[in-house]
Chain A
């Protein structure tokens, strides 16, 4: 409501300003000439000074922004390649700021310096091959360096060496949740296709594939520090994007294909929480949350939980109405803790067996009033299902 009032006030302010210019126009009634709407020397002077002021505004706003919001940006990367990315980013920033300060400075300084006057005559300066050459060649050289560094980094990050010792994990995206599948002892993920989705097997893992037998499906991602994790990504319905901001990692999940991204985590969750910048950030967030809680409680709501940092996997490709809430907690463990955590999980094969066992007694109790018609129906259904499964398998191949 208050913001509505703010809008109304702004509109009224706008109206007031129109009226002001009206008055301004009226004061010039005596000198109504045809060129009254063309900038006069007086206008040039005033606007020239404002332009110069605007340059100051840009500079001050930039400095203010860097001081006030600079610490919002993602800090220390939590992955090995993240250092490379951040390094390239910092170099690029230095370049961008230098060019920005110089070009904006020249633009507004020339505007101010050369503001028009009726006695002034502009210099006829149509072209200069030397100048054109300078500002074609300098950007070319600088960009060539950036491109080379960028491509070096890109190739390092994106191409996973086949022989490398990596942990394979599947990231499975669906509207609006993430699931992970670990390859188990054989470190090879079993085949999968959405056509095989059935009951507990929500990822459509092909259980007839030998490699699937020891696969483990979980809803919280744990990865060990210092080991390369090779993610294979799938999507069940629409495009999603697996975005790990702290690890400087992102890759789309595309239905019908498997995409991949690999990185080496370098801080466990516990270690990352202890980094000074993170302690400060969390304290700041908790202060904001405490203030908000007071407000909420006053309105009769419940207070917000205090925040502790966790790595997150976000969805970063519009995927439906609840896109804004598609996330998974990511935990980086020490290798020992990781092994322990994984060993406590049951395999998918075990899950399926358990589910089947749980279903059986229920089935036995059900068929009391069954007729021949129902039996026929069941048989037909079973046949159709078998055919469907067979078709799906062929299609998958």
Chain B
């Protein structure tokens, strides 16, 4: 494969000429250039993110001011689901479901991992493009198609899927049980099947590219941590996504062809259904076999981006490079054997609960190593507080806050009473929602110049970060308390329980923070879209970084480097190396005569 890379070198001039003949369609739509595909992923991810966040604001308003009339509900949800501007209870569940689905899969999996894996893998390992540009293009368009199908499901008559993003059967299998389990659910399943196909193609491409197309001198232990996390993420995806696909297929069988994989002994709407012998618990196992690794698919790339950005902006090597790699590998391994902690009280054998408690709490160890290494990276650094750096620090902060409550939820005994309450919502939003989102924002602020050749406005970036940081804590910190009060999640309103009346003020506060935080994401959108066209022109290496992507020209060219691909002589974190006068030594700078390697 490396021979092929060299062939690319020779054929380059020809390719460059060819590139100018690109039509609008081959350049901007059916592009096979990884940089363009990365931008397509990003824009699609942002659009889906706007929809997903907007949905959360709508149901947060319902929670704070239950069954009150808002004109905006009627405008957005229509007369059927919000007559007189009062949100109906079934559309509330649909909003919750689609919010979860969109944010987890379309924004934080495809939008985050898809964007940065595509952008950075070839650029940082020194490759002309992905191993298969064509497959990469198919991967994006399948993702796009799945997003379109998911959005279409919002417009079917009975409403979109509303059984929660975990779509547990029988609720998701029986239209008699909830209207959203009709056509809406069918489209959900079709969309996810397409999404998984897209994700698998992407992941295979990332794995092959990292293994085979590294430039000369780029050994695995000279890879930036971004690449390590993308690589490991892709492996987890390849292992676990097919299991979700099989779960989705079996559910389609149960729904449409009368099989009984997940259903048994059901009496609904006055009649006994024919299903016999299946088990919903089986579905839970299959779902969480992907579902738990999925949260690491979401957070690992964010960790990689943050590691890279922190080192660059601290002007210091990332602390414990090898320990960081080991912890990523350990997290990846453990992530595939902890899924049962979502099922402590599902009715599975309590002995299994013990096993999963053990494996789950073990994950805290590599996670703690990562957190301490990030903190030590800041120690005695020369910190440059660019917006990307602020989001990275914010990510570490929310990852710690959210991760610590995982010690409660991962412990089967404690999970009994906080399971499926707002405590869970607070935990996972901080540890994988907000953290991954911060990682994504950090990545966008940092690599925007690489993507668009222009800079994002830093002052808008500061405003964006600080308002978001305060609001994120404002939303999710009080949520722990209403969870500890025993308030179940996915309740349309808790006015039927006088017991929970004293939580209402907290709900109003949370929603207020959510609305402010949501509104200020407009600052980011404005900054992003305006800067694409009117931002200040970027220099080649604005953050004075060591990695290879900053050795490419600002203007994108197909094949990335105009001449030969640079060779790599050192690890990616030679910041403030005492052997050199400048505070960063790019990876393609040869070692000085007699220069010692100063790290393990």
Contact = CB atoms under 8 A, between A and B. Distances in A.
B459 A323 contact: no
A85 to B, nearest CB: 6
B417 A327 contact: no
Interface in B520-548: 520, 522-523, 526, 535-539, 542-543
A224 to B, nearest CB: 22
A315 B457 CA distance: 49
A322 B493 CA distance: 10
Contacts of B493: 324
A314 B323 CA distance: 46
B357 interface: yes
Interface stretch (B105-113, B142-150, B373-381): B373-381
Interface string A300-321: 0000100101001011111111
A204 B522 CA distance: 56
B419 A44 contact: no
Given A72-B485, A139-B368, A146-B411, A316 B420 contact: yes
B89 A96 contact: no
Contacts of B559: none
A236 B413 contact: no
A6 interface: yes
A125 B264 contact: no
B263 interface: yes
Interface in A44-87: 44, 47-48, 50-51, 54, 57-58, 61-62, 65, 69-70, 72-74, 84-85
A248 interface: yes
A185 interface: no
Interface in B369-391: 369, 371-376, 378-386, 389-390
A10 interface: yes
A255 B265 contact: yes
A195 interface: yes
Contacts of B357: 147, 150-151, 154
B204 interface: no
A285 B497 CA distance: 11
Interface in B407-459: 407-408, 411-414, 416-417, 419-421, 455-459
Contacts of B501: 285, 288-289, 307
A74 B484 contact: yes
A6 B278 contact: no
B462 interface: yes
B242 interface: no
A298 to B, nearest CB: 16
Interface in A146-177: 146-147, 150-151, 153-155, 157-159, 174-175
B160 interface: no
Given A89-B414, A285-B501, A256 B279 contact: yes
Most buried by B among A21, A39, A238, A323: A238
Contacts of B268: 175, 236-238
Contacts of A358: none
B276 A395 contact: yes
Nearest to A285: B501
Interface residues of B, number: 148
Interface in A235-261: 236-239, 241, 243, 245-246, 248-252, 254-257, 259
B497 A327 contact: yes
A285 B268 CA distance: 37
Interface string B498-527: 110111101000001001100110110010
Interface stretch (B13-21, B27-35, B463-471): B463-471
A354 interface: no
A244 B296 CA distance: 32
Contacts of A44: 383-385
Interface in B469-504: 469-470, 473-474, 477-478, 481-482, 484-486, 488, 490-494, 496-499, 501-504
A319 B266 CA distance: 14
A292 B399 CA distance: 39
Contact of A103 (B61, B364, B379, B400): B400
A70 B485 CA distance: 9
A131 interface: yes
Nearest to B519: A10
A259 B347 contact: yes
Contacts of A319: 171, 177
A123 B523 CA distance: 36
A155 B413 CA distance: 9
A194 B265 contact: yes
B345 A251 contact: yes
B411 A255 contact: no
A96 B95 CA distance: 33
A166 B354 CA distance: 24
B53 interface: no
Contacts of B383: 44, 48, 111, 114-116
Interface of A: 1, 3-4, 6-7, 10-11, 14, 17-18, 21, 24-25, 32, 34-39, 43-44, 47-48, 50-51, 54, 57-58, 61-62, 65, 69-70, 72-74, 84-85, 88-89, 92, 95-96, 99-100, 103-104, 106-108, 110-111, 114-117, 120-128, 131-132, 135-136, 139-140, 143, 146-147, 150-151, 153-155, 157-159, 174-175, 193-195, 197, 204, 236-239, 241, 243, 245-246, 248-252, 254-257, 259, 281, 284-285, 288-289, 304, 307, 309, 312, 314-325, 327, 392, 395
Interface of B: 61, 65, 70-72, 89-90, 93, 163-164, 168-171, 174, 177-179, 263-268, 272, 276-281, 314-317, 319-323, 345-347, 350, 353-354, 357-358, 361-362, 364-365, 368-369, 371-376, 378-386, 389-390, 393, 396-397, 400-401, 404-405, 407-408, 411-414, 416-417, 419-421, 455-460, 462-463, 466, 469-470, 473-474, 477-478, 481-482, 484-486, 488, 490-494, 496-499, 501-504, 506, 512, 515-516, 519-520, 522-523, 526, 535-539, 542-543, 573, 575-578, 583, 598-600
17 contacts: A38-B386, A47-B390, A85-B416, A121-B315, A122-B314, A122-B381, A127-B599, A132-B323, A132-B369, A146-B361, A150-B357, A237-B177, A237-B266, A248-B417, A256-B265, A322-B89, A323-B491
Given A126-B599, A135-B368, A314-B497, 13 more contacts: A4-B71, A10-B515, A18-B460, A38-B543, A114-B380, A122-B382, A122-B583, A154-B350, A237-B174, A239-B170, A252-B346, A281-B502, A395-B276
